[in-house]
């Protein structure tokens, strides 16, 4: 009969080999190839599409009251936006070697640009 130490070692080796084999099979599994002619859409695709269409229909029936835009309350709104100042443009060619374009000036625009595109004051 084999000694308990040899049996324990044999069992440990068998367990390690079994775990290694299973890990190899799981990690090296070929991805399943899906035939494009057999591919089907998700079952929920129709439901999701219908929800989108319902949302579009609800948005189409929204009516904006133009009287609000002409009222005193809207006209009393003030523009609190801050001007955006220009920043340096930097190098003309950012991929050129450093120092090859050191003679070119850096352009800094002096004009401030407003953040609004117009409106009632």
HEC assignment per residue over the chain: CCCHHHHHHHHHHHHHHHHHHHHHHHHCCCCCCCCCCCCCCCCCHHHHHHHHHHHHHHHHCCCCCHHHHHCHHHHCCCCCCCCEECCCCCCCCCCCCCCCCCCCCCCCCCCEECCCCCCCC
Chain segment 16-39, per-residue pLDDT in tens: 999 999 999 888 877 777 777 766
Structure-token pair, residue 20: 């290694």
- The pTM of this model reads 0.27
Domain ranges of the chain: 44-69
Q: Express each pLDDT in 27-75 by its tens digit.
A: 887 777 777 776 666 667 778 889 999 999 999 999 888 888 888 998 8
pLDDT at 121: 46
């Amino acid at each position: 009969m084999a000694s308990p130490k040899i049996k324990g070692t044999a069992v440990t080796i068998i367990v390690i080999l079994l775990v290694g084999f299973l890990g190899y099979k799981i990690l090296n599994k070929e991805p399943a190839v899906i035939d494009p002619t057999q591919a089907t859409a998700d079952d929920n695709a129709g439901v999701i599409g219908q929800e989108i269409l319902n949302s579009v229909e609800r948005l189409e029936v929204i009516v904006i009251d133009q009287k609000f835009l002409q009222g005193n309350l809207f006209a009393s709104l003030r523009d609190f936006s801050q001007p955006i100042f220009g920043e340096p443009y930097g190098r003309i060619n950012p991929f050129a070697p450093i120092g090859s374009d050191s003679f070119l000036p850096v352009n800094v625009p002096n004009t401030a640009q407003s953040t609004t595109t117009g409106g009632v004051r």
